[in-house]
Structure 1
């Protein structure tokens, strides 16, 4: 199951989640203990009040709210998109904060256990295959997560057939009140939980625990990470699970959300039939609490160190107990004021980070409410080259400048424009919002007791609140929060002197006496790229009727593919492909693609820096990003009908006058120490080495050394990209909510007005041929860490051609899915050796010999050899004996459901079908025949690939492990 917790960005550390604790007890018959949940129960309950019943905000009238006699709540929303699909969510108002000391991790462990044997599905090994046969993919359609104060189960059903709905309700009903919690299943799952704990372990998580233990010593937060403790995971007896399940999986603490193509009356009846019989225990569990969240008063400093940290952070923190208030217009106004203030400070830090003599690489401001009990404000910077002494003045100055002088009218105007635009776009896109998104949003609102209002109501409230908002009122709110002596100054770094806290305090005090100037009020300039010459003319047109794709060619040679859709209201996506991409990268400059991707957009345009563009384009829905594929470059972006012309102007400006400004290169190189520290201390470094090795250490696939990266320059990028931006053949694809006439007009005056482009130049085969290492092979890669986390990887050579064989790529994916499923059953379910093993296929259409099949399993370093042996044996058996028809059906059925869904996704039509479809017409035929081809895949085809690829003699075995 997925583990998810709120992202805690206070002091620059992200909380990644966790889970549990126990002591020995006598075992009891499973069915008797589970029965106790009903035997000690009372029939009726009291449903929690809905937020809208206590608020001045009008709730969305399309949403049906209700409750059962036992106190369980439900939310129903009839939503037509996607058609013939429904989404279910079961929210349990309990998480790790509800655990006793000897249950630390049980809440998350339970999330796993409800998939491992219930009253309707007593054989745990049969539930997932049964779901797969109905087209429900584990992970893609069925998942769950546990946080500090909630547990959520998710089912997105691929159809509304009776058998599928019956299973969905049976599964959700069993999650709520049907877990068997067999001793055998608990013991078998312990290894999976332990593996998940290992996979989630990180220096960031450890630092979070250390920081919160110091800052909130009486709080439960650092002592209730959802992943729990090793002791509980290994030894918690069954009755601790039953105790938590009985006291917290109760109707009064649960909300069921049901969204999709449904009948409301039928839905209410099914909900009543499924969840109505559940009873509440005589003594339900108490509501979660954080404990004492008070922090030391006055000015305090703290220094936290860990040699594996990848950056040095400085933070000013203010925390105080929070008094929760019901969602209201006034509460939203208060939140809006903080959002505006912090957004302005973020922009200031962004500008400072780009300055020539800057001492920071980034900075941010935030204010958050955690678990209704803790209000936390934070101003943070990341120090350049770990030099916190040089970065501290920036932090102190901008913090004090905001308090003393507030915010300028131009800053306020820019931020507000972006906020208004976001709300307006939500209104326009609402008609095509998808059921799964609505369901997840409803769960979030139910959990936080927020009113689920319509986008129109949200916009109306925003405008009402903005009418009272000025830079002055925003400043007053900011000062009110920060006008306190209770400030905590925090340094987080790799190493620090013994007296670092004293030095930190002294430098901050010294800096606070320095004179500051008020911020300048600067109005935005006009966008300079609106004229590109005489409008171009379309010389060729065609219409692919069965796919409803228009294809045009301008007189300058630029080709256009367009599909008008109503899948996402008010949304348009585009991608312009050109040049030779990674295949044409100079072999003498490894890492040039990384630098190009990092600095292209950040370098702005010739007449506008990237910061200028953010101001000029505030409130507009435009943007351009560069991506570098194997065979081409792409400039992509998304927009709306009203901003379509501006988006085309911006894209054309990046083609004709990219800035390649020095501040972009400076920013990239300023981040290099942090990046290489991360590569040194995490598995990402060895993964990069492994990828380069398996590509024959071709320079185009090698991540550069830090010294090599430092020598790369903007001029290198310009020399590589500029000729291709200006001259190479270009094909643009556009999909979304606009008309052919509107797009033609926007393109004619922009891309169509450019000088004639050259013809497409084929990349020579010798330039696209890689020399891979011989197999069988064994390699070990290490990273420096005290964290006991390792990865067993097996790679198989999977192709030796670049014949654009779409059918082979599809079948390779299905073969990988079958291996993936065998790994899940063997490594996770049977042996408990891995939490998230997986297999994937990757076949190149550009590079000869690059195709591979990969199996990946994270776990303990001591088990890497054992797990590698198992994976190789599983694949070799698959090669020799083949898969079964049932295995193929179970991976194919969910795939077919996803294919059907993709037909209503702009991303599918843009990226998979239309992009470069005039250059490669086979993409159109592949789209036409896709579904039929998948439906006609035979077991013989899959087994033929397995026999060719999955042999032990064709494998490369990789071990990635920490080197202390």
Structure 2
């Protein structure tokens, strides 16, 4: 007895000492320079070399929609827009024009967002131009206090804001949110201050109201400037002091009230129905007091909670993969919420409305199973491996981490007071403390977060399913359901290697270097070609892919659906002797992601890994294509889920789905391989035939081309490639795809589609046709799309106030025959649709007649140069580019000519020629309009 008491006392003392040891602040990243000006403005400066010659800037305003008066609802967001419509040093649209001429793109490099509690402006700016570098800080200063707020500009912007509200607010999701938020936010200030505001106020507010909001809340004591990038820190600090020190903090400014969401007793429930929601879901949220992460003990708790979420996610994913799974997918997690609250949430998607009760019971069962039995040692060990791998990866990439990755931590420090540490601390702390986190600690989290107070349970579904869905009383009963027969989780993990026998492989039979782009081509004894591009863009990344011609085009219509689903079906059962669930567990802590696909014209492989896990990834790739494990029960469950999801989507067709399907079927003239998938199509899948097709597609690697890009040494990885790629099967067959003669309709097509409840329209204009696929055509088609993006944003948005954001996309394919597509789409008021279409066609006609304006050509050239400068330093870009060039039989050096010659050849005449070539009589116009009353 004395020995037991001694052990208890020893444990208590050691726990106390442990808590004291970590009861110290988390060290902030010492490389970040932090300061506060006399006027209260705070700044954070961090020198970071990636990407080179770029910096990320943020102006953070600790004010959002929650601070609006009743008469100002929507004006916090409106103010965000107005800062792009004229400031002291950048009148009207000069700001956007200036940045576009400097190679920046609106949306990607220049943007802003408004939330309930904050407004954040962002710039990504080149630092190799002194003028642009210095002007960027003037832009932030102008946003902070020098907006002109011209009445004429305000009135012009109303239409754009209303179109944003139309595009985001007039849909089923928004209607559901309007019913959900009062319940979720417990009728607090947050429920009545959605950032988009109220339409009537946006239409009629007095401009004095937005001026008052700006003066009240855009002030230096509520602002921070964040700068992260490739620059001189001292120079940046000097610029911040120069541009912001003269700004005065207002006297007698209103107090920045911090609003809360009051707790609600017990569990509130709601059944929310809508005519345009195709899928039933159940959500349950428990709101909990926020736990701030200040001390190292708090940080250790955060790690434990991360492990908890990870294990919980793994369990639910495992359930969804089982035969006769009770749901298609489920999510449970503990995370930050809003207004000083955290939330434990559960979301589950049943197969259909009839299966909702079973799905809810399953998710409630898992919560109860956690409370009663907790997690297992095996689950925790795997979660620790996964967590440590992610931390270790960030540590290895610390000198290659992009500046944007550091920004959010600094933003949250300013707004929430959270720490911003660095990769060194995270790695060392994790290495020293991860093993000490016990299963008892993890299981104790359930008692902290699985509560029956301040909880909300919601079922969202289609009005068509109303009779099948539970009443609110029934929802409450299901939430409180307790399964008396609940058993502990059984951990099905086995220690079996991915491959029982390592292939002998074949040697390299030829080697060729393409010095200009740093590529080495290897040919192996089995005929497989491998293109290797070693890079130093990332320290811990290798991306690989492979392709071969063939695909579903080789199979007749009877086999089409089996062929189309072949790779999905083959992947369901896992590999070799490992089920898909067991395989996930076997790969815990490994960075080895591999997938296969069977497309229309080709079949292929994709994957990513780290240098240390390359052999594991290659083994996994080898196993997927040579030893797929067949599990018919799992496959039948997968197909059943697919069928139910399709049936639900067809039963409640959303306007967007009807519109998209109509465009596709019309353009492709109802070709059977371009029709929307239907539930009955799943019944056409033959599992035996799908496996046969999969094996046929990956039976011969003599015509496959592999591409590897990343951090590796060619000579060191050759032996691995010889085994796992040189060892792949080879039949030396001569094979290509089959041209199915699927072509888009010629001539002029016009079609109106009437679907939807709201007063909103969607316009889709498409120009399609054949072309020569020459370098000149490729470059100028893209340039034409970029110029149309600039002009239509000016004409449709800024001048007409008729759209929020037009979308212009160009695309092209070389195989089976060279075709192009130019698509222009936008949302608008039904009353304005035809007028805006005509404005669009007028702009195209101007370019066809006169060519584009010189300034727009200069903007496109600048944007292209800035964009390609970054892309050429991305592994992902090179992996995609090389595979495409090999697949299409194109010159690998094209990218060098594009960067060094072809961009500069874009001209008024070349774009004019492209407009006349690509915007011809082959035009299809589709307009989605609300249903006729």
TM-score, length basis structure 2: 0.92
- Structure 1 759/287 Cα, relative in aligned 2: closer, same or farther at 3 Å? farther
Is 1:336 aligned to residue 340 of structure 2?
Answer: no
Counterpart of 1:110 in structure 2 is 79
Q: Distance in 2 between matches of 1:199 and 1:355?
A: 39
Find the residue that maps to 1:432 and give its secondary structure. Answer: coil
Counterpart of 1:43 in structure 2 is none
> How far does residue 382 in structure 1 lie from its aligned partner after superposition?
1.8
Q: Distance in 2 between matches of 1:792 and 1:676?
A: 27
Counterpart of 1:796 in structure 2 is 767
Say whether the 8 Å CA contact 1:426–1:455 is kept in structure 2: yes
Counterpart of 2:879 in structure 1 is 910
Equivalent positions of 1:218-257 (< 5 A) are 218-257=187-226
- Structure 1 549/667 Cα, relative in aligned 2: closer, same or farther at 3 Å? same
Counterpart of 1:807 in structure 2 is 776
Q: Deviations over 1:681-713 (max 9, x none)?
A: 141342133134223333333322222234334
Is 1:779 aligned to residue 751 of structure 2?
Answer: yes
Equivalent positions of 1:173-572 (< 5 A) are 173-201=141-169, 202-287=171-256, 289-295=258-264, 297-320=265-288, 322=289, 325-386=292-353, 387-484=355-452, 487-494=455-462, 495-496=465-466, 500-509=471-480, 511-512=481-482, 514-529=484-499, 531-572=501-542
> How far does residue 943 in structure 1 lie from its aligned partner after superposition?
1.0
Is 1:634 aligned to residue 634 of structure 2?
Answer: no
> How far does residue 815 in structure 1 lie from its aligned partner after superposition?
0.6
Counterpart of 1:647 in structure 2 is 617
Q: Deviations over 1:904-931 (max 9, x none)?
A: 111121111x216556553313123121
Say whether the 8 Å CA contact 2:506–2:526 is kept in structure 1: yes
Say whether the 8 Å CA contact 2:812–2:819 is kept in structure 1: yes
Counterpart of 2:9 in structure 1 is none
Say whether the 8 Å CA contact 1:94–1:288 is kept in structure 2: no
Is 1:130 aligned to residue 98 of structure 2?
Answer: yes
Q: Distance in 2 between matches of 1:251 and 1:324?
A: 28
> How far does residue 281 in structure 1 lie from its aligned partner after superposition?
1.4
Q: Distance in 2 between matches of 1:672 and 1:280?
A: 61
Q: Distance in 2 between matches of 1:57 and 1:499?
A: 48
Say whether the 8 Å CA contact 1:811–1:942 is kept in structure 2: yes
- Structure 1 125/642 Cα, relative in aligned 2: closer, same or farther at 3 Å? same
Stretch moving more, 323-332 or 204-213: 323-332
> How far does residue 373 in structure 1 lie from its aligned partner after superposition?
2.0
- Structure 1 68/446 Cα, relative in aligned 2: closer, same or farther at 3 Å? same
Q: Distance in 1 between matches of 2:573 and 2:489?
A: 24
Counterpart of 2:547 in structure 1 is 577
Find the residue that maps to 1:360 and give its secondary structure. Answer: coil
- Structure 1 441/316 Cα, relative in aligned 2: closer, same or farther at 3 Å? closer
> How far does residue 461 in structure 1 lie from its aligned partner after superposition?
2.6
- Structure 1 55/667 Cα, relative in aligned 2: closer, same or farther at 3 Å? farther
Counterpart of 2:6 in structure 1 is none
Match of 1:740 among 693, 705, 714: 714
Q: Distance in 2 between matches of 1:559 and 1:499?
A: 58
Q: Distance in 2 between matches of 1:894 and 1:55?
A: 48
- Structure 1 243/629 Cα, relative in aligned 2: closer, same or farther at 3 Å? farther
Q: Distance in 2 between matches of 1:108 and 1:506?
A: 41
Match of 1:856 among 794, 812, 825: 825
- Structure 1 898/744 Cα, relative in aligned 2: closer, same or farther at 3 Å? same
- Structure 1 659/467 Cα, relative in aligned 2: closer, same or farther at 3 Å? closer
> How far does residue 633 in structure 1 lie from its aligned partner after superposition?
2.5
Counterpart of 1:690 in structure 2 is 663
Q: Distance in 2 between matches of 1:486 and 1:944?
A: 64
Q: Distance in 2 between matches of 1:268 and 1:738?
A: 39
Q: Deviations over 1:491-539 (max 9, x none)?
A: 2222445971223334555x41522111224443322326342131000
Q: Distance in 2 between matches of 1:291 and 1:277?
A: 34
Match of 1:707 among 667, 671, 680: 680
> How far does residue 326 in structure 1 lie from its aligned partner after superposition?
4.9
Q: Deviations over 1:141-183 (max 9, x none)?
A: 1111111222111111134212212331221111111101111
- Structure 1 132/616 Cα, relative in aligned 2: closer, same or farther at 3 Å? same
Aligned residues: 900
Say whether the 8 Å CA contact 1:89–1:440 is kept in structure 2: no
Say whether the 8 Å CA contact 1:655–1:725 is kept in structure 2: yes
Q: Distance in 2 between matches of 1:281 and 1:589?
A: 73
- Structure 1 223/757 Cα, relative in aligned 2: closer, same or farther at 3 Å? farther
- Structure 1 601/810 Cα, relative in aligned 2: closer, same or farther at 3 Å? farther
Say whether the 8 Å CA contact 2:41–2:221 is kept in structure 1: yes
Q: Deviations over 1:927-953 (max 9, x none)?
A: 2312111122233222112112224x3
Q: Distance in 2 between matches of 1:838 and 1:280?
A: 41
Stretch moving more, 401-410 or 461-470: 461-470
- Structure 1 590/807 Cα, relative in aligned 2: closer, same or farther at 3 Å? farther
> How far does residue 610 in structure 1 lie from its aligned partner after superposition?
1.9
Find the residue that maps to 1:171 and give its secondary structure. Answer: helix
Q: Distance in 2 between matches of 1:253 and 1:381?
A: 40
Counterpart of 1:31 in structure 2 is none
> How far does residue 94 in structure 1 lie from its aligned partner after superposition?
1.4
Q: Distance in 1 between matches of 2:688 and 2:127?
A: 54
> How far does residue 850 in structure 1 lie from its aligned partner after superposition?
3.9
Find the residue that maps to 1:280 and give its secondary structure. Answer: coil
Is 1:749 aligned to residue 723 of structure 2?
Answer: yes
Q: Distance in 2 between matches of 1:508 and 1:83?
A: 53
Q: Deviations over 1:365-413 (max 9, x none)?
A: 1222323522321233222212222223212221111111111111112
Find the residue that maps to 1:474 and give its secondary structure. Answer: helix
- Structure 1 916/496 Cα, relative in aligned 2: closer, same or farther at 3 Å? closer
Match of 1:717 among 690, 694, 703: 690
Q: Deviations over 1:580-629 (max 9, x none)?
A: 23544644566667645654544422422221111010110011123555
> How far does residue 634 in structure 1 lie from its aligned partner after superposition?
2.7
Say whether the 8 Å CA contact 1:86–1:261 is kept in structure 2: yes
Say whether the 8 Å CA contact 2:286–2:453 is kept in structure 1: no
Q: Deviations over 1:661-694 (max 9, x none)?
A: 4424523541444455456114134213313422
Q: Distance in 1 between matches of 2:592 and 2:759?
A: 44
TM-score, length basis structure 1: 0.89
Is 1:622 aligned to residue 595 of structure 2?
Answer: no
Find the residue that maps to 1:427 and give its secondary structure. Answer: helix
Structure 1 portions without partners, runs of 5+: 1-53
